[in-house]
Structure 1
C-alpha cells in the first residue's frame, strides 16, 4: 500500500513538472533581472490567460508591427544578454569577496611546526594523552 502511494506521488510530481519548468523559465531571476525565455528568444512570453482573454497585447496585435518590433528586439538581444552576464559576474564577485573576508591567510615555511587539533570526538583516539599536539616539521 505504501509502495503504491509513493508511485502515485511520483506520478503527480511528474505531471506538474511542465508547469514548474514553464514558471521557472518565464520568471525574471533575481541575479540577471531577466527571464531565461527572454534571454533565449529576445521577447517576453505571453501567459495563457493573456492568450485566452482579451488583453491589450492581444487586442492591439498587428502582424506587420509585430514582426518589425520582433526584429528590433532581436537586434537588442545581444545587449540584453551582455547586461545579464555583467550583473551575474558582479554578483559572483560580491559573493567571493564576502566569502574571502572570513578566510585567514596563512603561510608556512620549511621546518615549521603545525598545530593539529585534538582528535576528541572522533573514532580513533590519540596515541597517548601527553603526546605532542603537532606534527612536523614540514
Structure 2
C-alpha cells in the first residue's frame, strides 16, 4: 500500500486543505480523506479508520519522507505488524501508483468543480466513486470488483 499527501488546496469547510490518499497496489482501491492538518496523529487515525478497520493490517506502507510518516509514534505503531518503507526525495516515482492516483483525483476534482461548482472536499466522494468503478489498465477490472472478489 502506498500513502501520500496532496495539497494544499483552497480552504474547504472545516479548514480542510490537504488530501491524504492511500492506494492498494494489488486491487488499485483508493481511500482518501480531506484534512485540515497533516500531523502524525491524523495519519494514524486515517490508517486505522480507512485501512485497518475496513481491510485489515497492511503488510507494508510506502510513503515519502514527510515528517508525519517518520515520527517515532507512527514508526512504533507501524512496527507492530506493518513494514514501513520510504521513497527517496530524488526518486518519488518509487511510490508511482500513489502519484498517478493523486493526479487522477486532482483532475477529477477540477472537472467536477468546473461543472457543478462547490468546494473540492464535497466533490471528493463522487470522484472516488468514479475512480473505484472505472477499470484500471493494469488489471482490466475496476478496483471495486477487484477488492470484493479477491
- Fold-level match, TM-score > 0.5? no
Give the structure with the larger helix fraction: 1
The normalised TM-score by structure 1 is: 0.28
Name which one, 1 or 2, has greater alpha-carbon Rg. Answer: 1
